[in-house]
Amino acid sequence: MITMSAPGKLMLFGEHAVVFGEPCIVTAVDQRLSVTAEKNSRISINAPQVKETKFVDRAVHAFFSKYSKNSRVRLTISSQFSHQVGFGSSSAVTVATLRALSLFFNVPMSDREIFDVAYHVTLDIQGVGSGFDIAAATYGGSLYFKKGGSTIDPLSLSGIPLVVGYTGVKADTPNLVREVAEKQKKYPEKVNKIFIAIGKLVEEARTRMQAGEWERVGKLMDFNQEYLRDLGVSSEKLEALIGAAKKAGAWGAKLSGAGGGDCMIALAPSDKREAIEKGIAKAGGEVIAVSPNAGGVRVEP
Ligand code: PMV
């Protein structure tokens, strides 16, 4: 029997623009999803906490068609986070399943192979996506990332003073990605300008984060949020939580991920943290306690 766990993730900078070739910055969070593989007479998948098992099914299929013919295994999935919050349960379950199978059947797979197979599994199902969430689940830490994993650079950070607020609304990522793509087709000049500006801001954020210049990083979050508003992916609820965090003294705040719902993030000076959390809760958000920069997919004892 073997258990592998993969972390959830939060997008720090660059969502949407990353789908069009710009870089983004993602961090893995310390809420994890686990997949246990054990002997069985046939293949069986037991995932009471997972809404649907299509990512597991596809990952299993991809693994056995490429690496092994012996498909006798029972997979059991459990998660510390709900698939509702936008921490990337689909990517975490795909990566953890592939890693569990590779270890259980003793088929060596590099991290890069895990990333590539998992990315194709999620693309087959969702049709769109940059793969940033797969990279976070595979490698962990905080990453400077480009679409399809053409660049995956770990950032060297000692910590990120992050506060996370959940809107209570589930984001429909594939639809939001398609809506932005439609806008880009309709108004290419305007939308491409926004993407380029976001890309520039990601480059600066990469440097400033590694230098620990959090006040400036917060400002960059505010700028990023303005561009996301222009793209039309923010929501009233997100704006309420972001506004509350800012009012309570956050260095900066933005939505995280596709928009429309899921989570917002704020950068908090340590003496303002409590006030910011209270502000988010008062505005109707749920503060989720997570630590960023968590480890990638790994064996659980
Ligand atoms: O909604 P999330 O947390 O999966 O984030 C989506 C981020 C996008 O850039 C909009 C899409 C992507 O795959 O990069």
Q: List pLDDT tens digits, range 253-295.
A: 999 999 999 999 999 999 999 999 999 999 999 999 999 999 9
Q: Which residues contact 69 (CB under 8 A, 6 or more apart)?
A: none
pLDDT for position 52: 74
Q: Best substitution site from 173, 178, 265 to test ligand 1's pocket, by max atoms within 8 Å of Cβ?
A: 173
Ordered structural domains, the chain, with CATH: 2-157+293-300 (3.30.230.10), 162-287 (3.30.70.890)
The DSSP 8-state label assigned to residue 148 in this structure reads G
What's the rounded Cα separation, in Å, for the pair 298 and 278?
34
Q: Decide if pLDDT at 49 tops 80.
A: no
Q: Distance, CA 74 to ligand 1 centroid (Å)?
A: 31
In the three-class reduction of DSSP (H, G, I as helix; E, B as strand; rest coil), residue 174 is classed as helix
**Ligand 1 in contact with 86 (CB < 6 A)?**
yes
Residue 48 has pLDDT above 90, yes or no: no
Summarize pLDDT for 148-197 with one digit per residue, the tens: 999 999 999 989 999 999 999 999 999 999 999 999 999 999 999 999 99
Give dist(CA 80, CA 8) in Å, integer.
9
pLDDT of residue 269: 98
Q: Is the torsion defined by CA of 97, 103, 107, 109 positive or negative?
A: positive
Average pLDDT score over residue span 11-24: 98
Residue 154 near residue 136 (C-beta atoms within 8 A): no
Other beta carbons within 10 angstroms of residue 69's beta carbon come to: 7
pLDDT of residue 5: 98
Instruction: For residue 33, list its beta bridge partners.
Output: 6, 79
Pairing, β 162-166 against β 263-267: antiparallel
* Its pTM surpasses 0.95: yes
